[in-house]
Amino acid sequence: STPTETIEFQAEARQLLQLMIHSIYSNKDIFLRELISNASDALDKVRLAGYQEKDLDVDTSDLHVELVPDAENRTLTVRDNGIGMSRDDVVDLIGTIAKSGTAELLAQLKESDSVESQALIGQFGVGFYSSFMVADRVELVTRKAGETEGVHWESTGEGSYTIEPVPDAPQGTSVTLHLKAEDAEDSLHDYANPATVRRIVKKYSDFITWPVRMAGEKKDGAEETDDAGPEVETLNSMKALWARPQKDVSDEEYAEFYRHVSHDWQEPLETIRLSAEGTFEYQALLFLPQHAPMDLYMRERRRGVQLYVRRVFIMDDCEALVPEYLRFVKGVVDAADLSLNVSREILQQDRQITAIRRRLVKKVLSTVKTMMTEDADKYATFWEQFGRAVKEGLLEDPDNRDGILEIASFASTHDTEKPTTLADYVSRMRDGQEHVYYMTGESRSSIEASPHMEALRDRGYEVLLLTDPIDEVWVDQVPEFDGKELRSIAKGQVDLETEEQKQEAQKRNEEFSGFLEWITGALSEQVKDVRLSSRLTTSAACLVNDEHDMSPALEKMYRAMGQ
């Protein structure tokens, strides 16, 4: 068969590996969490493949993770009998980084100091590559379920790796870390020491639903019996967090579980639990992250909720469970009454899934609403990170429009720093003010400088300053909030006058009718109509859109999209 090949890492992968080797991350222990997390995912996948592909030649009778610390050779091996990888899988998944946003992240990393770097890399997550924080050489042997030949991969993390076929690899993946000498001195971080391994698994991977085993140390007097090898010890309790009573689970455990499902390295911003009994029985454990992922607004983005059926993993990013605009929500839904064979297509139609989704959306919205009153800073972080996505819901999910409007906030003329909620806007409305006024535009300053603002400013009316491109789109679909009409100050007639002022205006119109006729004629190519205005106080004239015309910014957006 093919001889050993040497292959270069993709450029982005090479850069990330450099960061790992020079360990910008202060907590090296987490490499083990990453490897166990990958092993656990691989076990989930093989169990599912076993259910779904009856002809697949796999043994799923004793799925587990095995840890082998070897003090003599200074290695630690993490082995699983999961789905494994083909040669091409290894090249694609281990040799390259497919995550969108990688190049941008690396550019940012170059410019930031080490503290910022840690936060950035933490946000990104580097999974398998974290092995190179503790190992100066990593070997990986793997065989994909159903295939006959395995592969051996090896690298020092410096530029390239080697890959070669192995005829007799067991199914699954085995990662052997040749540990850096420097960590051996520090007994707490000696990864060839079973006590260290035991401590780390307990801390970071306890909830993993597969057994994580380690061959135990020989007990005193073990030499005297001819017992076959040392006893095997299971290091984790394997309890699914979402199935445990909430009061028995610590914040730290939730945070670790969040890291496992989200591949994020930080803590969640908020943990959300919900469950239902009766006809549709399910449990859900959801998280709001602290940071928007880099691909939140990219096309290939994925949704973050996993579907389980009675503790059996069914699929990642189950799109039937969450609408697009909540795609940043991470976590798990475990439903009791679904077939293990469900497909994505079937799920879209499933009544139980539809019911769960409806409840989940309401729960997320109500959680954020509670956050607004109980922890304003947390809410501000949430809205800053995810507000743009949530606003898409005003278009995507009309049924929850009111709930979304309640948790939204917008820049406003009331405060130059802090955005306002609509409820706060309404509470500040002046006597006689009937509408919620807004203006869309490119930036706060361009809107504030607009002549349209003058009359509103004079009357002391607050104006919402909407600068997201998406704002252009939803404002046309959302007529009101709390019985108050939303009105653009740049469109049609903004009715600010009293009766008296109206009569005055009527009189002036008659007075100037000749002038208006003349100027309308002179500008007939450029404008539809010329009117005397009461909205200007210092500017001589301004352009106004018709009530139903596209706003200039929207026109620009469509033009940019080539329409």
Q: Which residues bind ligand ADP (CB under 6 A)?
A: 34, 38-39, 42, 80, 82-85, 93-94, 125, 127-128, 173, 263
Was 101 annotated as part of a binding site?
yes
C-alpha 210: how far from its chain's center?
Answer: 25
**Least separation in angstroms between CB 289 and ligand ADP:** 14
Query: In 10 A of CB 139, how many CB atoms?
Result: 17
- Which is nearer to ligand ADP, 79 or 452 (by Cβ)? 79
Beta bridge partners of 69: 76
Choose the one of Mg ion, ligand ADP, none that binds residue 82, judging by a C-beta under 5 to 8 angstroms depending on kind: ligand ADP
**Least separation in angstroms between CB 128 and ligand ADP:** 3
Beta bridge partners of 233: 214
Cβ atoms of 405 and 478 within 8 Å: the answer is yes
What strands lie across the sheet with 270-276, from one edge to the other?
A: 270-276, 282-288, 330-335, 304-309, 312-315
C-alpha 488: how far from its chain's center?
Answer: 33
Was 509 annotated as part of a binding site?
no
Choose the one of ligand ADP, Mg ion, none that binds residue 361, judging by a C-beta under 5 to 8 angstroms depending on kind: none
Characterize the bridge pairing of strands 436-440 and 463-466: parallel
Choose the one of ligand ADP, Mg ion, none that binds residue 350, judging by a C-beta under 5 to 8 angstroms depending on kind: none
Q: Which of 386, 380, 365, 372 is CA-nearest to residue 418?
A: 380
Site for Mg ion in 412-431 (CB under 5 A): none
Was 127 annotated as part of a binding site?
yes
Tell me the one-letter amino acid at 402: D
Q: Which of 193, 200, 218 is CA-nearest to residue 76?
A: 193
- Which is nearer to ligand ADP, 214 or 249 (by Cβ)? 214
Choose the one of ligand ADP, Mg ion, none that binds residue 15, judging by a C-beta under 5 to 8 angstroms depending on kind: none
Is residue 38 part of the contact set for Mg ion (CB under 5 A)?
yes
Please give the Cα distance from 60 to 82 (Å, whole number).
Answer: 8
Q: For tokens 């839904």, what's the residue?
A: 333
Q: Which of 295, 320, 240 is CA-nearest to residue 123?
A: 295
Was 441 annotated as part of a binding site?
no
- Which is nearer to ligand ADP, 84 or 268 (by Cβ)? 84
**Nearest residue to ligand ADP, scored by beta-carbon proximity:** 127
Phi, psi angles (nearest 5°) of residue 112: -110, 160
What strands lie across the sheet with 436-440, from one edge to the other?
A: 415-421, 409-412, 463-466, 436-440, 484-488, 480-481
Was 73 annotated as part of a binding site?
no
Candidate segments 120-128, 286-294, 480-488, 496-504, binder of Mg ion by CB under 5 A: 120-128
Beta bridge partners of 258: none
Was 561 annotated as part of a binding site?
no
- Which is nearer to ligand ADP, 90 or 322 (by Cβ)? 90
Q: What's the token pair of residue 483?
A: 């019985």
Site for Mg ion in 269-298 (CB under 5 A): none
Cβ atoms of 248 and 290 within 8 Å: the answer is no
Cβ atoms of 268 and 255 within 8 Å: the answer is yes
**Least separation in angstroms between CB 263 and Mg ion:** 6
- Which is nearer to Mg ion, 100 or 520 (by Cβ)? 100
Choose the one of ligand ADP, Mg ion, none that binds residue 293, judging by a C-beta under 5 to 8 angstroms depending on kind: none
- Which is nearer to ligand ADP, 128 or 280 (by Cβ)? 128
- Which is nearer to Mg ion, 38 or 385 (by Cβ)? 38
- Which is nearer to ligand ADP, 90 or 389 (by Cβ)? 90
**Least separation in angstroms between CB 223 and ligand ADP:** 35
**Least separation in angstroms between CB 140 and ligand ADP:** 8
Choose the one of Mg ion, ligand ADP, none that binds residue 393, judging by a C-beta under 5 to 8 angstroms depending on kind: none
- Which is nearer to ligand ADP, 132 or 410 (by Cβ)? 132
Alpha-helix runs per DSSP H in 491-544: 499-511, 513-522
**Least separation in angstroms between CB 40 and ligand ADP:** 9
Among 84, 95, 122, 127, binds Mg ion (CB under 5 A): 127
**Least separation in angstroms between CB 7 and Mg ion:** 21
Query: In 10 A of CB 491, how many CB atoms?
Result: 19
Was 339 annotated as part of a binding site?
no
CA dihedral 338, 343, 349, 352 (to 10 degrees): 20
Was 20 annotated as part of a binding site?
no
Was 80 annotated as part of a binding site?
yes
Choose the one of ligand ADP, Mg ion, none that binds residue 512, judging by a C-beta under 5 to 8 angstroms depending on kind: none
C-alpha triplet 130, 132, 136: angle, nearest 5° = 165
Was 521 annotated as part of a binding site?
no
Query: In 10 A of CB 366, how many CB atoms?
Result: 14
Q: What's the token pair of residue 447?
A: 């809107």
Concatenating the DSSP letter of every residue in 51-76 gives HH-TT-----TT--EEEEEETTTTEE
**Least separation in angstroms between CB 265 and ligand ADP:** 11
- Which is nearer to Mg ion, 155 or 413 (by Cβ)? 155
Is residue 209 part of the contact set for Mg ion (CB under 5 A)?
no
Was 123 annotated as part of a binding site?
yes
Please give the Cα distance from 118 to 109 (Å, whole number).
Answer: 9
Radius of gyration from C-alpha coordinates of the chain: 30
- Which is nearer to ligand ADP, 84 or 122 (by Cβ)? 84
**Least separation in angstroms between CB 42 and ligand ADP:** 3
- CA quadruple 361, 363, 364, 370: dihedral sign: positive
Residues binding Mg ion (CB under 5 A): 38, 127
Annotated binding-site members: 34, 38, 80, 85, 99-101, 123-128, 173, 344
List, as residue ranges, the binding site for ATP: 34, 38, 80, 85, 99-101, 123-128, 173, 344
